[in-house]
Structure 1
Amino acid sequence: MTRTGRTMVFAMALLTLFSAGARAALEASVDRRQIAMGDTLRLVIETTGDEELADIDLEPLKRDFDILQRSSASSVQIVNGQRSHTKQLVVDLSPLRQGALRIPPLASGGERSNAVTVEVGPPPELPGGDQQVLFEAEVDREAVYVQGQVLLTLRIQQAINLDARSVSELRLDNAFVKPLEQNSFQRTVDGRPWLVHEIRYAIFPESSGTLEIPPQTFSARESIARRSLFDRGNGRLVRRVTEPLRIEVLQQPAAYPDGATWLPATSLAIEEQWSTPPEQLRAGQSATRTIRVTGSGLQGAQLPPVLFPATPGLKYYPDQPQISESESSSGLVGQRVDSAALVPTSAGTYRIPEVRIPWWDTESGALREAVLPGREIQVAAAAPHSAPSPLPAPATTTANRDAVTATGTAVELWIWRGVALFSALGWLATLAWLWRQRQQQQRAPVEHERALPGEAAAYKTLLAACAADQATRARRALLDWGRALMPNEPDLTLDGFAAHCADARLRSAIDTLNRELYAGDTGHWRGDELAALARELRKPLRKRAAGESPALGLYPA
């Protein structure tokens, strides 16, 4: 093994040990960061190491919290042959006072958990009377920017046991709706216990104006004790309806830079990682540069790609981006990871330019920029031993050329012929595998087309692309929407969709979109006209689609 290979193995071993140590630390989290007096709070302490969570001292919690209950759980997961053991300590707490309460670090062995701060407000005011079931809807803000996030919370409060609980499905035509994790806890008001269940949604309006959230309906039956085995025990029906909510959707501010991806968020961060420190690069060696963009209050698909600019002397080989989303107490957190292998072709000093992403701070209403500073890297010359050496000729493989006999030369010649034959077979197998992969990639778009998104999802994606003035995404979404409306035409084209709609304005809008894309997506295209046409044509197109294929209905007429 060469010195470079030994260095890489040693670095990977250190990275593995470091990662294992990072995972072994205690991690503390709570189910909610904002609660009211009388509410219960769930604290979870998790580890993947050897810490004994049962030995954790919970006395520091008793200064601000009442410990109601504690339990433990464990799970084993095997991924790619790697076994991980996760242990959890779950503690139910109730605050003793209002204000910003701090859950201090808790220790087990040589590890300590992170501190967590919780805001505790006054007890909630419940309506008077003898109501035993309450249902309400609230949003975290009354005004939001287009494509920005607004959180809707549906809250069920019950002082009696209920069966067969159900909530109506939230449907909004001009917004993308993402259901979030549900949460349940107990609440005590004036000595009366309540069970609270919260259903949260992240809503992203796709056009400016007024977004109306229609009334939501909750229904259930009161639980009653069965008098016999044959008693069905159906109690009285409970039905509650919320008030409608209206949210003002603001347009993209004029101060936002032209041509930049519109990003309304509460925070945006950008960071990079290198598989090999850039100051240790040598000519001909590769290093993977990974850039991660994280935005709070954004979907992962809203984040723009990070481009790796061509630089003389540096070659980039980009990898497939990774787009994901996670949840926090403040809603969705989108993440996009772009990586590329960087290979310097010669020694020298190179300038890697900065990465600058503008975004709009929805909390302060100000334009901000996430910046990854540029840097200069010094690439050393290739190490002499790192260059591949050609295979030696059979006549030069012995240490003493004079001692070579005809028999030895013939044997070595056959050995090298065998090696050459084995290498040739390996190359043929590699070429066959690459050809098969290419065939699968060519078939992949066809298979993707067969699994088209639903009509509603494609329509909302189209409106979102038009609102962001993203020509490429709008063309793809328009085609998906047309194929969803015409499921019997899997090979539908945009021209065919325009002919089906028989609308000259749509054909003109498609021509304008195609001209923009043929020109290289200059960023001058605006999606207002196409979005307006889609809203106007959607209702008659859906009626026509329903009339053409009545067999697709869930229940026959």
Structure 2
Amino acid sequence: MVALALRILILVFAFTMPAAAAPEITSRDARLTVEIDPLPATPFEGEMILITVRGLYDVTIGLERLEQPDLRNFGWVQLGRDSWTTQRIEGRQLTVFERRMALYPEAAGALTIAPFIHHLTLVAGNSERFVHDVVSPPVTVAVEPRPADAGAWWLPARSLTYSDEWDRDPAMLGNGETATRTVRIEATGLPANALPPPPKMLAPWLISFVAPEQRSVELTEDGPVSTVVWQWRMRPVGSEPGRLEAFHIPWFDTSTRQMRDIVLNSQRIAFAAMAEPPAGGMAGFFTANAALLAGAGSFLAVLALLLPGRRLRSRAELAGLARRIMPDRDALALRRAARRGDMPATRLAARGLVAHSAGARLATRREALSALDRHLYGRFPTTGFDLQAFVRTMLRGGRTAGD
């Protein structure tokens, strides 16, 4: 009975004793700061600001979690994994935590980087664990509005390089050949989505297909290094050469604080020597069939003498009659080229048919010609193109008004 009373008394004392207080942690033992890398000048909107979230700890850490604030008015990129090291600072061996980030101001004015909170589970000397939060003080950054002459696409970068290459001489293309132009831009200090879209390389005399662009980014301690690759496949529509205009892409050098310019040079695009089609229209037919027409002319002259009661037709009437009787030059060229399997020549003849079409016939022929263009000059050419079906589509229904 006495032993039971003693146990109860011990339990009462245990429950009534105050709980051991968590050890006191001072800023000397644990502190968290946000440090901004030195800047050459007040940054503009969209210009990269590098920061380091740094924790210095003279405590034993069991668990940790860094709570990032809502970085209002900033875009941001974390530059790799968090770093934990041991360093001697102010004569003490400290545990150092670091998170490297790139911030991009989205507005001008005095912008505040809100506090980060490092949630720590610390281990006391008696192996007891307790929770302790370390909070960084807020930091204010002054930001200037982007320059008035920045242009449509604002491109502030620490450095920028580019290349502009052709896979062959675009001014000396072989018949039916296509030149591929590849432009590569690499920018330090920008995320990949901040690089501009590809310029539109279009002209009435040009067939141009643009490939899907390729964007990539490499994260470094000095900020992201982003790359974009653009590629076009181009050739002239016909035998006449053309000149593609130059393209300018302005960018702002954040190191020298100067506007600079990327120039994609003007380029002549032409076939070196293109086989000319037979002479067009009536002239071509008369040249190709001179002997036959000479005999036919003699026959008509004799017939006119034998039929004195008949009125001779005018020159315009004879020309109209000849157009109805004679085979269509483009249709003949189309059939011959298709029989040879010569797709570029087939396309050239088909363009002649399209040029003299109207109404529903025009829409049908244009659609068929576009399919052939995709097969010949597309980024990913199709296989098994049915050339004879193409010819049937182009010739369906014979002549139309204007053919």
User: Matched residues in 2 for 1:198 and 1:282: separation?
Assistant: 59
Residue among 133, 145, 149 paired with 1:251: 145
**Residue 167 (str. 1) matches residue 55 (str. 2):** no
Partner secondary structure for residue 68 of structure 2: coil
Residue among 89, 96, 100 paired with 1:200: 100
Q: Based on CA coordinates, which of the two structures has the bigger radius of gyration?
A: 2
User: Matched residues in 2 for 1:348 and 1:427: separation?
Assistant: 27
Deviation at 1:248?
1.0
Deviation at 1:426?
6.0
Cα distance change, pair 288–170 in 1 and its aligned pair in 2 (3 A): farther
Write the deviation string for residues 124-171 of structure 1: whole angstroms up to 9, x where unpaired. Answer: xxxxx9934332111225732112221221012334441211111221
Partner secondary structure for residue 136 of structure 1: strand
Deviation at 1:378?
5.6
Computed over aligned residues only, the root mean square deviation of the Cα atoms, in angstroms, reads: 3.5
Write the deviation string for residues 450-503 of structure 1: whole angstroms up to 9, x where unpaired. Answer: xxxxxxxxxxxxxxxxxxxxxxxxxxxxxxxxxxxxxxxxxxxxxxxxxxxxxx
Within 5 Å, give how 1:407-446 maps onto structure 2: none
Residue among 270, 281, 284 paired with 2:173: 281
Deviation at 1:245?
0.4
User: Matched residues in 1 for 2:172 and 2:64: separation?
Assistant: 62
Partner secondary structure for residue 301 of structure 1: helix
Deviation at 1:279?
6.0
Q: Percent identity among equivalent residues?
A: 27
User: Matched residues in 2 for 1:266 and 1:176: separation?
Assistant: 17
User: Given residue 198 of structure 2, which amino acid in structure 1 is its aligned partner?
Assistant: V
Within 5 Å, give how 1:70-219 maps onto structure 2: 131-141=28-38, 143-184=42-83, 185-189=85-89, 192-219=92-119
User: Matched residues in 1 for 2:46 and 2:254: separation?
Assistant: 11
Cα distance change, pair 369–392 in 1 and its aligned pair in 2 (3 A): closer
Partner of residue 253, structure 2: 361
User: Matched residues in 2 for 1:392 and 1:267: separation?
Assistant: 54
Deviation at 1:295?
2.3
User: Given residue 140 of structure 1, which amino acid in structure 2 is its aligned partner?
Assistant: D
Cα distance change, pair 130–358 in 1 and its aligned pair in 2 (3 A): closer
Contact 1:186–1:195 at 8 Å: present in 2 too? Answer: yes
Contact 2:69–2:115 at 8 Å: present in 1 too? Answer: no
User: Matched residues in 2 for 1:271 and 1:202: separation?
Assistant: 26
User: Matched residues in 2 for 1:426 and 1:379: separation?
Assistant: 26
Deviation at 1:292?
2.0
User: Given residue 214 of structure 1, which amino acid in structure 2 is its aligned partner?
Assistant: A
Residue among 124, 134, 146 paired with 1:240: 134
Contact 2:30–2:57 at 8 Å: present in 1 too? Answer: yes
Contact 2:242–2:269 at 8 Å: present in 1 too? Answer: yes
Cα distance change, pair 305–130 in 1 and its aligned pair in 2 (3 A): closer
User: Given residue 242 of structure 1, which amino acid in structure 2 is its aligned partner?
Assistant: S
Residue among 289, 292, 298 paired with 2:184: 292
**Residue 381 (str. 1) matches residue 381 (str. 2):** no
Cα distance change, pair 254–313 in 1 and its aligned pair in 2 (3 A): closer
Partner of residue 314, structure 2: none
Partner secondary structure for residue 43 of structure 2: strand
User: Matched residues in 2 for 1:211 and 1:349: separation?
Assistant: 55
Write the deviation string for residues 87-119 of structure 1: whole angstroms up to 9, x where unpaired. Answer: xxxxxxxxxxxxxxxxxxxxxxxxxxxxxxxxx
**Residue 316 (str. 1) matches residue 208 (str. 2):** yes
After TM superposition, the score normalised by the length of structure 2 is 0.55
Partner secondary structure for residue 379 of structure 1: coil
Deviation at 1:203?
1.7
Contact 2:48–2:190 at 8 Å: present in 1 too? Answer: yes
Q: Runs of 5+ in structure 2 lacking a partner?
A: 1-25, 277-335, 342-382, 390-403
Partner secondary structure for residue 199 of structure 2: coil
Contact 1:291–1:306 at 8 Å: present in 2 too? Answer: no
**Residue 371 (str. 1) matches residue 263 (str. 2):** yes
User: Matched residues in 2 for 1:324 and 1:161: separation?
Assistant: 40
Residue among 158, 162, 165 paired with 1:270: 162
Within 5 Å, give how 1:447-486 maps onto structure 2: none
Contact 2:155–2:195 at 8 Å: present in 1 too? Answer: yes
Contact 2:79–2:220 at 8 Å: present in 1 too? Answer: no
Contact 1:133–1:157 at 8 Å: present in 2 too? Answer: yes
Higher relative contact order (CA 8 A, sep 6+): 2
Cα distance change, pair 370–383 in 1 and its aligned pair in 2 (3 A): same
Deviation at 1:250?
0.7
How many aligned positions are there? 260
Deviation at 1:212?
0.5
Partner secondary structure for residue 203 of structure 1: strand
Partner secondary structure for residue 144 of structure 1: coil
Deviation at 1:310?
2.4
After TM superposition, the score normalised by the length of structure 1 is 0.41
